[in-house]
Structure 1
Amino acid sequence: MIGILIAAGSLGIIIAVMDDGDMPARLPLICSSLAIGLSTLIAQILLPESLALLSIVIGALIGGCAISLFQGMSVKRSCIAASIYLAVRMGVALVLF
């Protein structure tokens, strides 16, 4: 539960910076971060390990559509936000593990 809230907070910071300081609502952020995480996880399960980068791209695209749906952003801007979010998550995972 705490991980979901931290993920939603980091996604909220990225979206707030992209939207010139307007902090989005909490529930759409939690739904967006869950959509990004679950789509990346499902793609990692279905694809072989040699295509791990493709699962991250799939997660960014699906997450971008989810952010666009929940936040009312354009699809291009929301895909950029999802890509930044997944890059930060990958960087933190590489540092911690």
Structure 2
Amino acid sequence: MIALLAIGVIVGAASLRDSIVQEFGDISVALDRLNQTYSYRIELDPDGNGPAAPQTIWFANYTDPLPTLEDNVDEPPAGITFVEPTGGESPVTLPVGSVP
């Protein structure tokens, strides 16, 4: 009975892990697709001539780049992949060279 319960806990934990990773992928795609493009202009009319001769003081705009993440069906969420090491864990090799 305890062995059956242990197997159920392991399978449930794996399913929970997969669901959490999927949600993180969905959130990353949603944030990537959020468009924050803006534009504004500040105009003044120091002479009081009305809208025919306003003086532009400040103008700024920003165009958000296109989304880069995709969340396709039957693929890992947003390009997240897990690769198991083939030879077990090994120490990380430090880069060699000099800083210019």
TM-score by length of 2: 0.30
Greater share of strand residues, 1 or 2?
2
TM-score of the pair, normalised by structure 1: 0.30
Q: Which has the larger radius of gyration?
A: 2
